[in-house]
Structure 1
Amino acid sequence: MVGVSVVAIVGAGPGLGAAVARRFGREGYDIALVARDRDRLDGLVRELSEGGVRARAFPADVREPERLTRALADAARELGTVEVLQYSPVPPRDFMRPVLETGHRQLTGPVEFSVYGPVAAVRQVLPGMRRLGRGTILFVNGGTAVVPHVERAGTSVAFAAQSAYGHLLHERLAAEGIHVAQLVVPGAITPGHPRKDPAVLAETLWGMHRERHGFRHFADDLGSP
């Protein structure tokens, strides 16, 4: 579809995903919402549509790379080439085990979620971005991406790997007009918080997309709860 800008939000939900959809939607972007739960996605599509945002649902589990790549391929076919990819699913609580209770089997889920998933997503959308001659890839991570936590070994290990992957992409793709950046959100995304409210974070992500400066950005101080 010529002339249509598309953002794909992997891990879309009623908080940050919805806020980012609204922010990019105000700028005329069509929105591809990717998450596991079809019913929740359909509800979010209806809510966004009532606010004038054009959105479509593409159900997929990020731990199933083939389904994820299919969903993104469907999004590109139905909406147009994905110009912006945001990878921001929230890790399940059982990924956050103490380090001495974390064996190799307990790392499988976090690595599938935070490494295999983003790699599959990027490789699916990258050819389209290259054809456009532009693109943005945004990773959203918790504070353990930067400062590992002994009680959250799974996310500490997997987020660090995702960060390394993102940084490598940032260095490799900049010359092609494709900007790769990471937003680190210490603690929880919190409605009403001056820096971590979903709408505030959405504005930050929009700015990262538009300003295209640097790889790692922080939503708040690392010591913040």
Structure 2
Amino acid sequence: MRKTAVVTGASSGIGAATARRLAAEGFNVVLAARRRDRLDALAKEISEDVPGAGKVVPVTLDVTSQESVDALAEALSGGCHVLVNNAGGALGLEPVAKADPAEWQAMYDTNVLGLLRVTKALLPRLIESGAGHVVNITSLAAHVAYEGGAGYNAAKGAAYMVNEVMRLELVAEPVRITEVAPGLVYTEEFSLVRFHGDAEKAAKPYEGVPEPLVADDVADCVAWAVTRPAHVNIDRIDVQPRVQAAPHKLHRL
């Protein structure tokens, strides 16, 4: 019997890459994100192009809405074995003295409260599966501060602590808890969203970096963690390009 994986933020970037990879690993995949047109296109692509892909189901999801999260839970006709909490993102790069509280609120709502809502809704099914797994995509920003990053540092740092507490609280349950914390990842949207569509600003973090990570590199980490034997828990994977030593320390050509 195929296992089922739910991936939030699946419409692009790391989420889409993770969905493709888990389908290739033999999972049925539930694609969850706000942009239904992208989900439908991705579901068609996976079904047609990924050898051996199982069932692929797109579900419209806004992790900031409890009603939307409840609808996701109701849409799961079978069990749930893997939940990848990927929905989130960064906004702005201003110092604390010039920070916009609305941007901090938005980051907290998606990266932390969104993770809470979806995990809480699906946890009973993960436990019932007898071998559940929650993978939380955070960031190296959860563990290392950098100038201009306070809002994102705070949101991802909170997600990291939720991850740690869940491992303590669920130690007696058949559910594994894994954090994947990427460094600099080049995707089509992350930086563009962070800088509100300013393409020039969005390109600067990647200038001179010969080989940043790509979404498939992070998806590879997720796939490796969830395909370990059920008694093996991968607590945390920190992954960054070879030319990065910290969020603020990159070798640029």
Q: Which residue matches 2:72?
A: 71
Q: Which residue matches 1:145?
A: 142
Where 1:57 maps in the other structure, the secondary structure is strand
2:153 is aligned with 1:156: yes
Question: Against the structure 1 CA distance between its residues 208 and 115, is the aligned structure 2 distance closer, same or farther, given a 3 Å change threshold?
Answer: same
Q: Which residue matches 2:87?
A: 89
Where 2:64 maps in the other structure, the secondary structure is coil
Q: State the 1:152 CA deviation.
A: 1.9
Where 1:174 maps in the other structure, the secondary structure is coil
Where 2:57 maps in the other structure, the secondary structure is strand
How much is the aligned-residue C-alpha RMSD, in angstroms?
Answer: 2.3
Using the aligned pairs only, state the percent identity. 22
2:234 is aligned with 1:199: no
Counterparts of 1:1-225 in structure 2 under 5 Å? 3-52=1-50, 53=53, 54-74=55-75, 76-77=76-77, 80-94=78-92, 96-102=93-99, 104-189=101-186, 196-211=213-228, 212-220=232-240, 222-223=245-246, 225=250
- Mapped to 2, the partners of 1:27 and 1:47 lie a distance apart of 16
Instruction: Tell me the TM-score normalised to structure 1 length.
Output: 0.86
- Mapped to 2, the partners of 1:217 and 1:42 lie a distance apart of 30
Q: How many residues align?
A: 218
Runs of 4+ in 1 over 6 A off after TM superposition: none
Question: Against the structure 1 CA distance between its residues 126 and 90, is the aligned structure 2 distance closer, same or farther, given a 3 Å change threshold?
Answer: closer
Q: State the 1:198 CA deviation.
A: 2.5
- With 151-160 and 193-202 compared, the bigger mean Cα shift is at 193-202
Q: Tell which structure's C-alpha radius of gyration is larger.
A: 2
Contact between 1:65 and 1:116, CA under 8 Å: does it hold in 2? no
Question: Against the structure 1 CA distance between its residues 68 and 144, is the aligned structure 2 distance closer, same or farther, given a 3 Å change threshold?
Answer: same
Matched AA of 1:9: V
5+ residue gaps, structure 2? 189-209
Q: Residues 128-186 of structure 1, C-alpha deviation per residue, up to 9 Å, x if partnerless?
A: 11112221101112221111223022211111111000111112223312111111111
